[in-house]
Amino acid sequence: MTESPRIFAKQYLMTAGPTPLPPAVSQAMAEPVIYHRSPAFIEIYARVLENLRTVFRTRNDVLCFAASGTGAMDSAVANLVAPGDQAVVASCGKFGERWRDVCEAYGADTIDLEFEWGDPIDHERVDAALADAPAPVRAVFATQCETSTGVVNDVRALSEVARRHDTVLCVDAVSGLGAIDLPQDEWGVDVVVSGSQKSLMCPPGLAFVSASERALAQAADRPGRRHYFDWELTAAGQRQDPPNSAFTPAVTLFRAIDIALEQIIAEGLEQVFARHALLARAARAGIESLGLERFGPDDESANVVTVAAMPDEIEGAQVPKLMRDRYGVTVAGGQGRLKGRIVRIAHCGYYGAFDIVAALTALEMSLRDLGVEVEPGAGAGGAQRVFAEAGVAPEPVG
């Protein structure tokens, strides 16, 4: 028996972080290393700091750390919450629970509001918790896109609640910033944290914190428990003219984010958000065309990662495994209590129409391998109809 032609050797990364990179971003990292105090780096650094403001939709200094996104979350708790301070964590999935873990590590007196995995945060319950809190709440921690379930929370409503109670809202936007709109200043969100490796089209290793003057003042009132992640120290360096990093920055990753931010800004933020929304709509349609249930709320907000519920009759954990090992398409399955129950197809960052088609087709083939009856092409067809209805295809030729 001859070996099959290797048509599935080519690899597709469809996870919500890390995400694939535009070629120019990858290539920038192969450039020679430059000294972080040299004019060549300072030019990149200054441009990145300015472009981050545009993408975060803020006039804050967007503080940059060499860290995973969790490092930025850690910094938020370390800076905003002194031991014994009252804090509220509103969570609806694994990443929301991380806020609780960090708050506990730092000795906060945490009011833990848990919502069902797959449901969004109910801002009215947050409102009630703030009204009933036994001590002044110093910060509310929540998640924009809960990547473990695909749910996108109503950050604007949460921000209104926090401001009504005169407390700081701190939003983990690690996966969604740059995919769905979060006009920080317009909505009055005090702190937005994010990371390089998801919608911002870079490798992991840079973490960002956009903190308002009010949040910075609260941090200054709560010294200690940090040096590397101290906001004041990093802000002081970034505010110098020219900007001067407090510690050695990850210079190759700065080269990467420089290219990525320029690409995002050249495409235009509105266009970027519209692209994500349309890819998500196509992914949702494809999943329904495959005969699968979608996991999560039935609305149009979940534009970062599309989540399919696995049929009860198959072993759900087999699906992402088959997609990767047989077909070269890496998607994420479920985490924690959702293990084996869902498949998550990401489309945050450098994704286009045919990435969705490829992911849906690999999903379809894997389901068929497991005995699920699906008409070949159903998923791709569902997505294609969305593209056609959106009128985004070029004019007919000839």
Q: How far is the CB of 317 from its own copies (least distance, A)?
A: 13
Which CB, 208 or 229, lies closer to its own copies? 229
Q: Which residues contact 234 (CB under 8 A, 6 or more apart)?
A: 63, 64, 65, 245, 246
Nearest to 49 by CA among 242, 287, 303, 336: 242
Report how far apart, in Å, the C-alpha atoms of 194 and of each of 71, 166, 168, 208 are: 10, 23, 17, 5
Residue 26: how many CB atoms within 10 A of its CB? 14
Residue number, 161 or 322, with CB nearest to its own copies: 322
Nearer to its own copies, 55 or 64 (CB): 64
Q: Indicate the DSSP class of residue 395.
A: P
Nearer to its own copies, 96 or 203 (CB): 203
Q: How far is the CB of 97 from its own copies (least distance, A)?
A: 12
Residues that bind its own copies (CB under 8 A): 11, 13, 15, 17-21, 26-27, 29-38, 65-71, 73-74, 77-78, 83, 101-102, 105-107, 195, 197, 203-205, 223-230, 247-253, 324, 330, 332
Cβ 247 to its own copies, closest distance in Å?
4
- The answer to whether 340 and 334 have CB atoms below 8 angstroms apart is yes
How far apart CA 184 and CA 168 sit, in angstroms, is: 13
C-beta of 315: minimal distance to its own copies in Å?
A: 18
Please give the Cα distance from 287 to 131 (Å, whole number): 41
Task: Count Cβ atoms below 10 Å from residue 107 Cβ, excluding itself.
Answer: 14
Min dist CB 37 to its own copies, Å, is 8
Residue 135 exposure: Cα atoms within 13 Å on the Cβ side: 11
Tell the burial category of 336 from Cβ atoms under 10 Å away from its Cβ (0-12, 13-18, 19+): exposed
Q: With respect to its own copies, which residue has the nearer C-beta, 73 or 380?
A: 73
Q: Nearest 5 degrees, angle CA 362-CA 324-CA 278?
A: 50
CB nearer its own copies, residue 159 or residue 175: 175
Q: Which of 134, 97, 132 is nearest to 117 (CA)?
A: 97
Q: Cβ closer to its own copies: 65 or 295?
A: 65
How far apart CA 387 and CA 183 sit, in angstroms, is 27
**Cα torsion angle, 262, 265, 271, 274, sign:** positive
Classify residue 294 by its DSSP letter: E
In the complex, least distance from residue 166 CB atom to its own copies, rounded to whole angstroms: 27
Residue 213 Cβ vs its own copies, minimum distance, rounded to whole Å: 22
Nearer to its own copies, 130 or 304 (CB): 304
Residue 242: cis peptide before it, omega within 30 degrees of 0: yes
8 Å CB contact between 159 and 188 = yes
Nearer to its own copies, 35 or 164 (CB): 35
**Rounded least distance, CB 105 to its own copies, Å:** 4
Is 11 or 271 the residue whose CB approaches its own copies more closely?
11
CB 138 within 8 A of CB 85: yes
Smallest distance from the beta carbon of 211 to its own copies, in angstroms?
17
Residue 176, exposed/middle/buried by CB under 10 A (0-12, 13-18, 19+)? Answer: buried
Minimum CB distance to its own copies, residue 27 (Å) = 6
